[in-house]
Chain A
Amino acid sequence: MIALVDCNNFYASCERLFAPQLNNKPIVILSNNDGCVISRSNEAKELGIEMGAPAFMMEEMLNRNQVAIFSSNYTLYGSISNRVMQTLNEFVPQMEVYSIDEAFLNLDQFKHTDLFQLAKKIRNTIILHVGIPVTIGIAPTKTLAKMANRYAKKERKAEGIYLAETQEQINELLAYTRVEDIWGIGSEHSKKLAQQKIFTAAQLISLSEEWIRKNMTVTGQRMFNELKAVPCIGWEWMPAPRKAICTARSFGQLLSSFEDIREALANYAGNCARKMRNQQSCTNLVQVFLQTNTHRTQDKQYFRSVNIQLPVATNDSGAIIAAALKGLRVIYREGYNFKKVGVMVLDLVPEQSVQLGVFDHTNHQRSKQAMAAFDSINTRFGKDIVRYAVQGYKKKWKLKQERLSPCYTTNINEVLTIKN
């Protein structure tokens, strides 16, 4: 059996943990640059606030209903997520962290355990120890566990758990779930199914496997078997190292000058290099792109990208930043209001299998040592405490985060202060 544990309204719950005055009050969290709504408390959902709704268009409505608004504080959410995952791990060592607020647990070791009682214990422990409410769905496959979780959220609010163990319990799920709400079914396929008068998961499994494979490819076939309680989606204990890493963000304000954009790009490139070192990969292909804001029709529009090839694959911050800036010099044009710059490192190869060049005179050992020192200083004393000069301090590009909560758990100067 497999459990899917999902934190309820995770970002809003994290904010509420340190702000009890927001209990029973509507809360929304905004995306980077305070653009649109990415998380809502139940009270905010009841007000009819939609996911993805642009904040600037509802300012009046948010104020009128006294909705608490937060910029996204990923440092805080990441730290609370670690606590949730660590607590889960103490119960079930075999687990797969699926996202910041979800994890699959492999319950195969609990053959003679009452799984409902186990789920109850897990749920109570997380709310007590960490302070975050979770919902748990348990079923024979990942797809059904997802479905059981969704069912628990909607129909078992008080317990927060749904166990789909017997065929009867599974059937209840299948009859309840509409095809567009099945994990992994896109809008194309749900339209196709609607034409066949197939609206629920229960109707879907009455189709022949042949029809599914023909019309919904191998992925559809896998989902079909998962619904029939045959596990087809494997476990990913460790996230696979990424083949490409991209850092691209919209600026907090429109930027035109080369120097301002260069500062942003140098920081993004440094970020990519650090992430490559974390997963021990190197790149020899750096892509840079630069674009204006397509929504500002009054502005001249521009989009261009360029690839920079490096002679030897590297993850040295200096080398990656230099390559990115070389790319920027190629694509930058004066006289535009730019909205976004980005850098992507592609074709990542493992550090140990880097091919050295004949004419390459870089001292790789020295670069490696320098980067190790660079990373350990920054881990200990704070991100970007040591930086390349070109990364700068002007930060005109910095995200708009006007309603950021304190980093309660990661910065001793920002811990919760209790007036006593």
Chain B
Amino acid sequence: MKPEILECAISLPLCGGGIPAGFPSPAADYALEDIDLAKYLCPKPGATYIVRVSGDSMNDAFIPENALLVVDRSIVPQNKMIVVAVLNNEFTVKRFISNSSGIRLMPESKNNKWKPIPITEGMDFKVWGVVTKIIVDALKV
């Protein structure tokens, strides 16, 4: 058994146009499957969740208000990835910086009220998943 999870396979026609009946399609020999946007956005549906962002602390990292994030939990977070983290029992989306001086969560915003958050001992901190795609409704921005 293979349970399906993301059932929103969206197909985009690569070539359109009707062919009059009776004529063999010259494209038949070149036929390939349409682009599966769901597969592109979410190659590992079993480990992927979708979340929405409200707020402007990452608006300089292509994450405007109301953006949808594709979050893959199977990826091990590495320096400079954008992550969904749980910090003191609250969700937050930030740039994950991990180097010799420790771990920091960096906001990337035009609004300078957001400050870097150094992760120190005693903080309840966990990476919930790694952001792999950002979906923005271009008609609503």
A residues with CB within 8 A of B: 20-21, 23, 79, 82-83, 85-87, 89-90, 95, 97, 128-131, 237-238, 379, 408-409, 412, 415-420
Contact = CB atoms under 8 A, between A and B. Distances in A.
B11 interface: no
Nearest to B63: A420
Q: Which interface class (under 10, 10 to 19, 20 to 34, 35 or more) fits B?
A: 20 to 34
B13 interface: no
Given A82-B5, A89-B2, A418 B84 contact: yes
Contacts of B49: 408-409, 415-416
A89 B52 contact: no
A419 B68 contact: no
Interface of B: 1-5, 7, 44-47, 49-58, 63, 68, 73-74, 84, 86, 89-93, 128
A268 to B, nearest CB: 25
10 contacts: A21-B89, A82-B3, A129-B74, A379-B7, A412-B50, A415-B51, A417-B51, A418-B53, A420-B53, A420-B58
Given A409-B49, A409-B50, A417-B53, 5 more contacts: A20-B89, A85-B1, A415-B68, A418-B92, A420-B63
A420 B57 contact: yes
Kindly list the 9 A-B residue pairs having the minimum CB-CB distance in the complex, ordered from nearest: A420-B55, A129-B47, A82-B3, A86-B46, A418-B91, A416-B51, A20-B86, A417-B52, A21-B89
B1 A89 contact: yes
Given A130-B46, A409-B49, A420-B57, A86 B5 contact: yes
A408 B73 CA distance: 15
B69 to A, nearest CB: 8
A275 to B, nearest CB: 17
B140 to A, nearest CB: 14
Q: Which of A412, A415, A416 has the most CB of B within 10 A?
A: A416
A90 B74 CA distance: 14
A410 to B, nearest CB: 9
A239 B89 CA distance: 40
B90 A20 contact: yes
